[in-house]
Amino acid sequence: MLELKNLSFSVTENGYSKQIIHDVSFVIPDDKLIVLTGPNGGGKSTLARLIAGIEKPDSGRIFFNGQDITEKSVTERARMGISYAFQQPVKFKGIQVLDLLRFAAGKENLSTADACDYLATVGLCAKDYIDREVNESLSGGELKRIEIATVLARGAALSVFDEPEAGIDLWSFQNLIQAFDGMRRSIPNSSFLIISHQERILNIADEIFVLTDGKLDKRGERDAILPDLIGTTSAVAGCRKIEGGGESVC
């Protein structure tokens, strides 16, 4: 279980302080999938980085399974069972996809077949990617899917995804929804926090949190919150992609 108590965070630019997160409190129980949404610039990614330990709050506390982790590092939180998928995936020059999946799973002997299953789950043809380096030769969408595959392999108690649909085409997006459903069933007592505007991801949430101007504006069961979001920037029916000089919706 993750609990945030009165969390606040600000940044200083050109001598001026700007508060990004304002006194946010909530609980994510085990066996729950929470989607965090809200207008752009509302502080969603910042909140995810605070949970992962990339940023430290100005005030407030963060608890994970009853333990105060506010001062713990990214590595310490990862060892405790918190996994974080970046909005912009990290490149690992010299490391092959298979090695990255083995590292994520904590199994040096993870079979190629099992690694391929993780890649297939996120819509990648395993034979084309298993031996490739995780470097600039991969597109942003490919890197995103490989990163999600590593989160699947890790099977963490809490998985945080920052806009996992970014750069992913329609076919892979459908597989992504299935992957989240599979993770819920296969990882006991796990919980998920997904940052997204996508209506199809909002539709699989147990609860929806709406963050506006750094404040928790709304929260509740999906069926109670989602109808008010449809048609707003917090619930987009399709993601827009630019392909071949034209715009398409996935």
Query: pTM of the full predicted structure?
Result: 0.82
Which pLDDT score is estimated for 233?
67
Measure the CA–CA gap between 236 and 234, rounded to whole angstroms. Answer: 6
CATH of region 2-86+156-249: 3.40.50.300
Measure the CA–CA gap between 85 and 193, rounded to whole angstroms. Answer: 11
Which pLDDT score is estimated for 171?
57
113-146: pLDDT as tens digits: 888 888 888 878 888 888 888 888 887 778 878 8
Strands (E), the chain: 2-13, 16-28, 33-37, 59-64, 67-68, 82-85, 92-96, 133-134, 158-162, 191-195, 207-212, 215-221, 240-243, 246-249
63-121: pLDDT as tens digits: 999 999 999 999 999 999 999 987 666 777 788 888 889 988 888 888 888 888 888 88
Q: Is the pLDDT of residue 207 over 90?
A: yes
Q: Is the pLDDT of residue 246 over 50?
A: no
Which pLDDT score is estimated for 140?
74
Using 50, 70 and 90 to split pLDDT, how confident is the model at 167? Answer: low
Which pLDDT score is estimated for 19?
93
Which pLDDT score is estimated for 245?
38
Q: What is the mean pLDDT of the chain?
A: 85
- When pLDDT is averaged across residues 180-208 and rounded to a whole number, the result is 87
220-242: pLDDT as tens digits: 999 999 998 887 767 766 544 43
- When pLDDT is averaged across residues 13-39 and rounded to a whole number, the result is 93
Q: What percent of the chain lies above the pLDDT cut of 90? A: 43
Q: Is the pLDDT of residue 55 over 70?
A: yes
Taking a C-beta distance cutoff of 8 angstroms, is the pair 39, 63 a contact?
no
Q: Is the pLDDT of residue 47 over 60?
A: yes
Query: What tokens appear for 133 in the block?
Result: 């380096």
Considering only residues 163 and 210, tell me which one the structure prediction assigns the higher pLDDT.
210
